[in-house]
Amino acid sequence: MDDIDAMFSAMLGEMDLLTQSLGEETVPPEALSNTKKEVNYSIGFTDLNESLHELEGNDLDALMADLMADLNATEEKLATEIECLKAPSASQPDFPPPPKGLSIEPAPSHISPSSAGSRSSNVSTPVPSAASSLAPPPPSGAKPTTEEIEAQMKADKIKLALEKLKEAKVKKLVVKVLMNDGSSKTLMVDERQNVREVLDNMFEKSHCDCNVNWSICETNPELQLERAFEDHENLVDPLSAWTRDSENKVLFQERPEKYEVFKNPQNFYLWKKDKTTLRDMKDKDKELLIQENFCGTSIIVPDLEGVLHLREDGKKSWKQRLFQLRASGIYYVPKGKTKSSRDLVCFVQFDNVNVYYGKDFKSKYKAPTDFCFVLKHPQIQKESQYIKYLCCDDIWTMNLWVTGIRIAKYGASLYENFKTAEIKASNSVWTNRSTPSSSNQSTPSPTVKAKSPNQANGHATKPQPGPISQNPAPPPPPPLAEVLPPPPPDPVLPPPPPPMAAKTASKPTPPKRNQPNNFPPPPLDMDNLPPPPPPPPTDDHLEAPPDFLPPPPPATGFNSLPPPPPSFGGVDHSLPPPPPDPVSLPPPPPDPVFVASGAPPPPPPPPPPPPAAPVATLRPAVRTSGSLKKVPPAPPKRTAPTQGGGGGGDFMSELMLAMRKKHADQ
């Protein structure tokens, strides 16, 4: 739930007010209950609804409702506004309350008052200011100055409004991402975001080691399929294809096969060679292979050819066929024909299909082996004759084919993605710990679990000696701590009390208002906040558990969570009590790996300054909101909140509100 709040606040920087009224504290508990209740953590629409329900009574509902408000209303409002503005003599250009806008307006306004009430007047004030900041030309200026200036301001406002309007058209989804440890994170993803950005987001939230294997995956339990999204893919599109009652889930996982082709290209491009040659391949030869196949004028697809088992349409039998992979698609050799290209029959082309791994097809479809992959249109979610099922003799062949198909389908993007991922990983290594990432890369990537222990060990050794008494194997990598000592910890586990402080602090400092969506102000606040260290820790403890629901004892958990260290180091220094660690412990024993990722505690944000700042900002906002949550009477429930559309909230109306508010204040 934290995440939800954070997301919202991030997205609606100007809507601080609203977000503030959301209660974070309340949220955590709910999350807990949520997890307990649900065996499956699915992201489907239903889930969203559920989570929303849980939030009922919170301002979140109001927020959602606002977001969902009909876009048309906004547009009309905007139109009227524009007209008004255009009228030269319009004395009150800024707030000609458009009829429709009004309807929307009430909700937000309510919220703000409520928040004020709960939090004291101080709180309320800051909010408006923040809102106003979004609208660059504050009304106050407009009034006094000449018409010219007014006109200019109007123009600016219109522009801004239009931008906002465009923004409002952007589709957003609230996505629940399942972590390896069984916990989950909730994110808001807008349709312009690609998977890379979402991954970065998850890195920030989970404090994993950011190695290149991390992937966002989709599972389809009904078809028993799963697939890792490519980093350049848009996330909203495929998720929109899910059905209403879908049990599909989104996972955040390490998938070693994701970029294996760039680590060991010989296994794919020279797969016919004997294993020892492949294993002993020199780095420079690997480099050359990548050059040849990915850096030329065209991307070369591995030369794959072999017998695969094909599931007959509608039948239960599997038939063997000789298949060949080409850049243009998969082909097979019809009976009695030669392998010559001209006789090949096209089996499938890749424009409209994605490749998925099949799970447990041996029992589901009586497949010869469990190493199956599937080609289907992303929108197909149920059994259909249009799904193509193929089965390989071993896992190695399966990975060969699936990777080959991805190369054929995505071409150069794949390599670009990898390079970007590598940079991210190395950055994080640089700031954090070097061991983990390197180990991951070097090891072909057995199982995730195996790795995690390794990492932990590595950390343990490296990390500084003494800081954390509780942790037997203190993971904290020194570097990070040194780099960004105080700030990181705070952002991640913003203690409830601090928020208050933050709020107050923010108020006093007016300059921040001007800063728009960048959240620059918050970071500052955060910095200020650090001083009150004592409270945070405790809070963290409280908070953390709820989010992850991991009842496990801190100490044990901690061992498993090596990753967080970096931030910890910093934390430790600043705050003697190593509270943060416990937080990270949450992850249940089963998937230690995830701990790192899942555990929010150690904020090892690779790019220290920027990322940390945003997070921090979000946090404070959330917190305040949490406190407020009780107050607000849940306006219009999220009637609309179908998760899918989710997001098309109208920022316009919010904007208008904010502006009006400002105006009124003045």
Partner 1 sequence: MAAWDLSVTVEDLGLDAPPVTISVASDLHIGGVILKLVEKTQIKQDWSDHALWWEQKQRWLLRTAWTLEKYGIHADAKLVFMPQHKPLRLGLPNGITLRLRVCFSNPVFQTVMGICRMLNIRHPEELSLLRPIEEKKKKKDKNLAPEIYDLTEVPLSSGTLSRPCLYNGMPAHFADSPEMEAIYKMLSVSQPPPAPEVIAKQYRPASVVDKAHINGRYVWLDSSRCLLQQGIQESDKLWLRFKYYATYDMDSKYDAVRLTQLYEQARWAILLEDIDCTEEEMMLFGALQYHISKVAQSEPQIMSNNPAMDDLDSALQSLEVKMEGEGSSASDLLENMTAPELTDYLKIFRPKRLTLKGYKQYWFKFQDTSISYFKSKEESIGEPIQMINLKGCEVAPDVNVAAQKFLIRLLIPAPEGMNEVYLRCENEQQYAQWMAGCRLGSKGKTLADSSFQSEIQSIRSFLAMQKTNSSSSSANASEESINTHSLVSPRYHKKYKPKQLTPRILDAYQNVAQLSLTDALMRFLQIWQALPDFGLAYVVVRFKGSRKDEVLGIAPNRLIRIDLSVGDVVKTWRYNNMKQWNVNWDIRQMAIEFEGNVNIAFSCVTADCKIVHEFIGGYIFMSTRSREKSETLNEELFHKLTGGHEAL
Least spacing, CB of residue 81 vs partner 1, in Å:
10
Question: DSSP string of 380-433?
Answer: --S--TT-EEEE-SSHHHHHHHHHHHHHHHHTHHHHHHHHHHHHHHHHHHHHS-
Closest separation between CB of residue 141 and partner 1, Å? 21
Q: How far apart (Å, rounded) are the C-alpha atoms in residues 113 and 128?
A: 11
Q: Which is nearer to partner 1, 181 or 191 (CB)?
A: 191
- Residues binding partner 1 (CB under 8 A): 75, 78-79, 82, 158-159, 162, 165-166, 169, 241, 243, 272, 277, 285, 288, 292, 296-301, 303, 326-329, 331, 338-342, 344, 346, 349, 351-352, 377-387
The type of residue at 504 is T
Minimum CB–partner distance for residue 144 and partner 1 (Å): 25
CA 446 to chain centroid:
25
Indicate the residue among 243 and 666 with the shorter CB distance to partner 1. Answer: 243
Please report, as a single letter, which amino acid is at residue 515: Q
| CA–CA dist 569, 589 (Å, integer) | 23
- In the complex with partner 1, the residue whose CB is nearer, 345 or 395, is 345
Give whichever of 154 and 629 is closer to partner 1, judged by the CB atom.
Answer: 154
Nearest-approach distance from CB 310 to partner 1, in angstroms:
18
CB of 344 to partner 1, least distance (A): 5
Measured from the CB atom, the residue of 301 and 657 that comes closer to partner 1 is 301
Pairwise CA distance, residues 611 & 397, whole Å: 40
Unique residue bearing structure tokens 């100007």: 14
CB of 85 to partner 1, least distance (A): 9
Would you say 81 and 656 are in contact if contact means Cβ atoms under 8 Å apart?
yes
Minimum CB separation of residue 252 from partner 1 in Å reads: 25
Across the chain, how many H-helices and E-strands are there? 34, 12
Q: Which residues of 503-524 are buried (b: 16+ CB within 10 A; e: fewer)?
A: bbbbbeeeebbebeeebbbbbb
Q: Residue 308: which of 347, 257, 260 has the closest Cα? A: 347
Nearer Cβ to partner 1 (562/649): 649
* For partner 1, the closer CB: 327 or 542: 327
Question: Please, what is the minimum distance in Å from the beta carbon of residue 210 to partner 1?
Answer: 32
CB of 631 to partner 1, least distance (A): 37
CA 628 to chain centre: 26
CB of 139 to partner 1, least distance (A): 19
DSSP 3-state of 552: coil
Nearer to partner 1 by C-beta: 245 or 665? 245
Bridge partners, 496 (sequence order):
none
Q: Please state the closest distance from residue 49 (CB atom) to partner 1, in A.
A: 19
**Residue 330: which H helix or E strand, with range?**
strand 329-332
Q: How far apart are CB 435 and partner 1 at their closest, in Å?
A: 33
Count of CA atoms in the C-beta half-sphere (13 A) of 482: 9
Bridge partners (DSSP) of residue 310 are 319, 390
- Please identify, using beta-carbon distances, which residue of 147 and 292 lies nearer to partner 1: 292
E strands in 229-313: 249-254, 305-311
Helical ranges in 38-184 per DSSP H: 45-54, 59-68, 71-86, 99-104, 106-119, 121-124, 126-134, 139-142, 147-169
Minimum CB separation of residue 234 from partner 1 in Å reads 10
Distance from the first to the final alpha carbon of the chain: 36
Beta bridge mates, 225: 220, 358
- Classified as helix, coil or strand, 323 is strand
Contact (Cβ atoms closer than 8 angstroms) between residue 657 and residue 161? no
Looking at the DSSP bridge assignments, the partners of residue 390 are 310, 373
Structure-token pair, residue 230 = 């490519």
Q: Among residues 82 and 151, whose Cβ is nearest to partner 1?
A: 82
CA distance 34 to 50: 8
Name the token pair of 151: 């006109």
Which CB sits closer to partner 1, 131 or 407? 407
Closer of 151 and 300 to partner 1 (Cβ)? 300
Grouping H, G, I as helix, E, B as strand and the rest as coil, residue 168 is helix
| Residue among 121 and 297 whose Cβ is closer to partner 1 | 297
Q: How far apart are CA 567 and CA 595, in angstroms?
A: 15
